[in-house]
Amino acid sequence: MRNKKIRSLPSPLYAILDPSQTEGRPCSSVLQELLNAGARIIQLRAKEMAAREFLDLAREARTLSRARGCLFIVNDRADIALAAEADGVHLGQEDLPLYVARRLLGTDKIIGISTHDLEQAREAEQGGADYIGFGPIFGTATKDTGYSARGLTMLKEIRQAVKIPIVAIGGINENNVAQVWQAGADSAAIISDLMRAGDVTEKVKRILALRQTL
């Protein structure tokens, strides 16, 4: 049963840094662009990278993000999150169980859980997750979740069902992100629209500015 204080997320944008989508640009350069633009939550997602390379990149990202006061989350790998001194880890339904990750990382680290329906969302909250990822909202080509698009109506239902922060994910971009926030998401995870932007800094600034208009 959940009994700890609910943590808020520091930004309406949950930027995901994925080396496989930077189109040849060095990850450190893209990371600097994200930070320079004001990104305050960054997740490192490196599913195709060997563990040693992943750890080296995570350590570099930790150093750069810490200097900017940016929350740094590692995708999937609790061991790399721990070794890199990340702020936390984000786990999918098929990854390490939440209670095991909590035992490894301790109570101070942030643990987010990917969810795709009401039952999973409630289970994550009751299990002590600090936030849930929910989606795919609009569908996505970035990751094969095995789930159809959940849509804004279901996002609103999840918002009514859980108290912890919700990070919406899946097909979200500059053109539809406002709909996601209006439906109840605390933050919006964006991968492709950021990684493939000609000017990452300006893209992030425009997205953050949109939040100010709501």
Catalytic residues: 45, 114, 143
Cα separation, 181 vs 179, in Å, equals: 6
Contact assessment for residue 34 and residue 59, using Cβ atoms and an 8 Å cutoff: no
SS3 content of the chain, % helix, strand, coil (to 5): 40, 15, 40
Sign of CA dihedral 91, 96, 97, 101: negative
A 10 A CB-CB count for 85 gives: 13
Structure tokens at 186: 């605390």
Residue type, 98: L
